[in-house]
């Protein structure tokens, strides 16, 4: 009983905590439906629902559950000066930055609808991002090695590797939350306040920096949406659901 349809929610610029609360509500509803289905005969079971949230956040740093807080190089007073917030979150990965000009995507997927393989799930997100970058003429994008999830440019060129897409997810009962962040027009100076993903010898970049021009965010969203649907094999139910 696979459901390969996905509700799309474009939340625009939204506070991190507010969006996290929305994620958790959708995530918990999906798990509750899975648990309820277990007690029902097949003909009475209701398919789980998949969601994809796109948004941007005001300046915020988030630290994954296995992360090291020393990778944040700011104290509370300095965070306030930079109008940035800091959260401990329940995703994988270490520390990262979110801010305006960055395309953040949160797939709340029941992987039983797609693939019960978290590694393949991550690889498909990377593949969609690489296809998106190719549309902008960037052909030197590739996933990192094991333990360095995400998409990099010139990954295997010593001293030149730079990260353009970060991924960090949380799963329970094969339901996902959190997701990815693609640097589109991101203010990269905010990354200087952290050790990105706990990797001190590699830098970060953005589409704007690589191409030397500001990128239309709506265009970037549409391209990423198109390739996520292609690689996962799903279709969108609602292309512009502004309210959840």
Catalytic residues: 197
| Residue 44 CA: distances (Å) to CA of 6, 32, 37, 41, 172 | 21, 15, 8, 6, 23
| Residue 4 CA: distances (Å) to CA of 70, 174, 244 | 41, 15, 19
What tokens does 202 get? Answer: 């590699």
Are 196 and 96 a contacting pair, CB within 8 Å? Answer: yes
DSSP H helices in the chain: 16-38, 76-81, 118-135, 207-211, 217-232
Q: Decide: residue 47, CB within 10 A, 0-12 exposed, 13-18 middle, 19+ buried.
A: middle
The 8-class DSSP code of residue 224 comes to H
CB atoms within 10 A of CB 120: 13
CB atoms within 10 A of CB 38: 7
């Amino acid at each position: 009983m696979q459901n390969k349809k996905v509700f799309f929610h474009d939340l625009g610029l939204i506070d991190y905590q507010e969006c996290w609360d929305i994620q958790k509500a959708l995530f918990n509803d999906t798990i509750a439906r899975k648990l309820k289905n277990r007690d029902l005969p097949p003909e009475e079971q209701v398919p789980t629902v998949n969601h994809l949230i796109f948004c941007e956040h005001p300046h915020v740093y988030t630290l994954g559950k296995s992360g090291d807080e020393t990778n944040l190089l700011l104290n509370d007073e300095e965070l306030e000066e930079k109008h940035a917030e800091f959260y401990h979150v329940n995703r994988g990965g270490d520390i990262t930055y979110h801010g305006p000009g960055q395309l953040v995507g949160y797939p709340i997927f029941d992987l039983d609808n797609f693939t019960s393989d978290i590694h393949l799930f991550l690889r498909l997100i990377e593949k969609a991002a690489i296809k998106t970058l190719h549309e902008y003429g960037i052909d030197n994008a590739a996933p990192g090695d094991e333990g360095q999830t995400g998409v990099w440019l010139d990954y295997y060129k010593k001293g030149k590797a730079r990260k353009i897409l970060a991924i960090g997810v949380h799963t329970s009962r094969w339901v996902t939350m959190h997701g990815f962040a693609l640097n589109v027009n991101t203010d990269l100076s905010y990354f200087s306040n952290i050790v990105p993903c706990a990797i001190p010898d590699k830098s970060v970049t953005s589409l704007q920096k690589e191409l030397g021009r500001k990128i239309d965010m709506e265009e970037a969203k549409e391209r990423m949406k198109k390739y996520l649907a292609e690689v996962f094999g799903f279709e969108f139910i609602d292309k512009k659901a502004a309210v959840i």
